[in-house]
Structure 1
Amino acid sequence: MRLSAEPGTDDAELRRGEVDLESSAGAPTLPGIRHRLVGSDRLVVVVRPGHPLTDGPLTIERYAAAQHLAVSRRGSLRDPIDDALTARGLERRIAAAGPTAAFTLQLALDTDLVVTLPDAVTRATRDQLGLVTLPLPLPLPEVPLYLLWHQRYDDDRAHGWLRDLASETVQAVFARQLTFHASP
């Protein structure tokens, strides 16, 4: 199973049978690739302890003015957050892009850089590193999580079991994170 931070432009590994099941934040666009929505996650702002953004309320203006990190395996320095800020007449500065959430969290730990990531899927790492989580001061839709597979596996009982197990596991993680987050 491959867990990716962003949708790929080509699902060749699924088509060639090199990957049986993949997760993605985007539904596939290529023919022959099936998908199932298994959950969604909200975005949160992550900073080091003592970061200037932890002093006082986090406004959209303070958020936009900070130096940011992006998560992109392809080095993209723009995402839907930037579109939402632009619609409000604001712009953020992305100082660097890292290939994974874990990489950007490590960078945020020792700098004043800000990273915005899905909550449930990054909570354990954030907690282990002792990072501070703030609410995103910008209304954005939740990030979907899809499971993807090639159509050749549609009637494969073992693959169906794997898809069901992966779906149940992801949903349990999200439910546990939501319960943990709601606790005092």
Structure 2
Amino acid sequence: MLRPVEALDLAVLARTFTLRSSEGFAETFGPGLIARVGAEAPRVRLRFVQKLNKDSGPLREGAVDLETGIVSQEMGPEVRSQALFRDRFIGVVRAGHPLSKGRVTLSRYTSGRHISISRRGLEQGPIAEAMAPLGLQRDIVTVVGGFSTALALARSSDLIASVPERHTGGLRDGMHSFRLPFAAPEITVSLLWHPRLDADPAHRWLRRCVRDACADLLGGSPRSESRDSK
């Protein structure tokens, strides 16, 4: 924190950055981010690790440079955040599934067999919470820990997966997606980091690369950086 700020020379910057994210982010946004980083700083390496929980310990301890995810009360109060994009849940089935043809009604959706996604193995989640006021519930056949597992099962069966649309764009190729027949919950995916890295020139550059990679793929303009914590 006390060392003088040095001019950033991306051509000679040799550093490995660790990014912690949920399933789907690396597959969807990773190719564009890696291409951007490689073009500007060829000696920089990105290491993606899976986000198994919302504990901010890895950021605090320095094991992780950046995270993506939803800001929650489980994170430390010091964590910095910057919104990347809004996302919504959609239904996904295999090509040729009965729900891939015609309008998906509440009756058709609830009469199907579903996959629940929970890192903690719980059947309840944002979809169940959205359906509760309607007095409806899904027939949960299996509970899995991540989006890629849910989509792999749906791809090879008649099961229905309900996943975030933008977050899983790289995982749903060849599958049929549909809008949920009720008010689908929306989430904000944010970029998270520890404040000790605020002024680090290389880290600031990487944060900008992540924001731009998301904006480029989603067709939006990159957001300016925020210093707000959760």
TM-score by length of 1: 0.85
Structure 1, 97-106 or 14-23: larger mean CA deviation: 97-106
Quote the residue 1:19 is aligned against.
64
Letter of the 1:165 counterpart: C
- Tell me the distance in 2 between the aligned counterparts of 1:61 and 1:83: 17
Residues 48/87 of structure 1: CA separation in 2 closer, same or farther (3 Å cut):
same
Instruction: Give the SS at the match of 1:172.
Output: helix
Quote the residue 1:97 is aligned against.
143
Quote the residue 1:180 is aligned against.
none
Task: Find 1:143's aligned residue among 175, 187, 192.
Answer: 187
Q: Given that residues 90 and 184 in structure 2 are in contact (C-alpha distance below 8 angstroms), is that contact kept between their aligned partners in structure 1?
A: no
Quote the residue 2:106 is aligned against.
60
Q: Given that residues 91 and 178 in structure 2 are in contact (C-alpha distance below 8 angstroms), is that contact kept between their aligned partners in structure 1?
A: yes
Larger radius of gyration: 2
Q: Given that residues 93 and 176 in structure 2 are in contact (C-alpha distance below 8 angstroms), is that contact kept between their aligned partners in structure 1?
A: yes
Q: Given that residues 27 and 35 in structure 1 are in contact (C-alpha distance below 8 angstroms), is that contact kept between their aligned partners in structure 2?
A: no
1:49 and 2:49 matched: no
Quote the residue 1:3 is aligned against.
21
Task: Find 2:129's aligned residue among 83, 90, 114.
Answer: 83
Quote the residue 1:174 is aligned against.
218
Quote the residue 1:153 is aligned against.
197
User: What pairs up with 1:103-118 in 2 under 5 angstroms?
Assistant: 103-118=149-164
Report the structure, 1 or 2, having the larger helix content: 1
Structure 1 residue 65: Cα displacement: 2.4
CA RMSD of the aligned region, Å? Answer: 2.0
Structure 1 residue 91: Cα displacement: 0.8
What is the count of residue pairs matched by the alignment? 174
- Tell me the distance in 1 between the aligned counterparts of 2:140 and 2:217: 30
Q: Percent identity?
A: 36
Q: Unpaired runs of 5+ in structure 1?
A: 177-184
